[in-house]
Structure 1
Amino acid sequence: MHIWAQRFNVDIRDFDIAYYIPSVTMGTGQFLWTTLKSPSSASAREALGGRLLTLDMMEAATPRPLVARIARAEQKKKAGRT
């Protein structure tokens, strides 16, 4: 993820992966125990599943000039197919 951020000049200093995937901070024992509880516990399933990180969120973090450059490249690619 850091390589992606450097390549596309995106500031991810405030990005917290644990917000989206809470299980990343669990130890092995806690992770296994949560996995065992998950069939009957909504909170355990949420801890394992985390929250969605959508493309819109990634696009919002990407500098506008880069988004415009990607859009132009996609348009050129589509124009070449027709």
Structure 2
Amino acid sequence: MAYKVMAADDEAIMRKAMTTLINWEDLGCELIYVASTGTEVMERLELLKPVFSFWIFKCREKTGLKLQNISGSRSLRQK
């Protein structure tokens, strides 16, 4: 059984790298979604319920740290 992973970055080149340079299957994972904004992350977290998620954001909308605080307050289970 593969772990469901969701990743996010506000830079297109980084999103492309996450999908092409990392062999998710070799890691026992399935990359189920790659988001580009903090809002998109919050919408998809609740819908897709990934086991792991990681975000790299410096944008004004929501930083990765703000997303962690919001998702924790909503009791979204993730690692």
Quickly name the TM-score band, shorter chain normalised.
Answer: under 0.3
Q: Which has the larger radius of gyration?
A: 1
Q: TM-score, normalised by structure 1?
A: 0.26
Q: TM-score, normalised by structure 2?
A: 0.27
Larger relative strand fraction: 2
Larger relative helix fraction: 1
Higher relative contact order (CA 8 A, sep 6+): 2
